[in-house]
Amino acid sequence: MLKTLKNLFIQNKNETLEKVINDNAFLVDVRTQQEFAEGSVKGAINIPLDQVQRQLDKFKNKKHIIVFCRSGNRSNQALSILQQNGFNNVTNGGTWQNVNQFVRN
């Protein structure tokens, strides 16, 4: 039963993620520049986690913001930083591969 609930939650989260991505979300990879250079999501920009606080202006006036990384940990931290600074339109996309599966090529 717990597995069924978990799968439902993940499915709903991914459906929401796909909808937001396809509504021209601002895609932000919060991994290091080196990790980003090795591959990321088409159309994403790189703002490493340690620079998010200093680059808040880049997030202003965006309808949807999706942050992601290698495992979901750094993107969760970025989500917290952005929310603490008044951004309520942020979604943690988890891994870059997870986000990438919903991006139209």
pTM: 0.88
DSSP-assigned states of every residue in 51-89 = GTGGGGGGGTT-S-EEEEESSSHHHHHHHHHHHHTT--S
pLDDT tens for each residue of 82-91: 999 999 999 9
The closest alpha carbon to 61, from 26, 85, 17, belongs to 26
Which class for 47: exposed (0-12), middle (13-18), buried (19 or more C-beta within 10 A)?
buried
Residue written as token pair 């870059």: 96
With a cut of 70, say whether residue 73 has pLDDT above it: yes
Domains, the chain, with CATH or none: 17-98 (3.40.250.10)
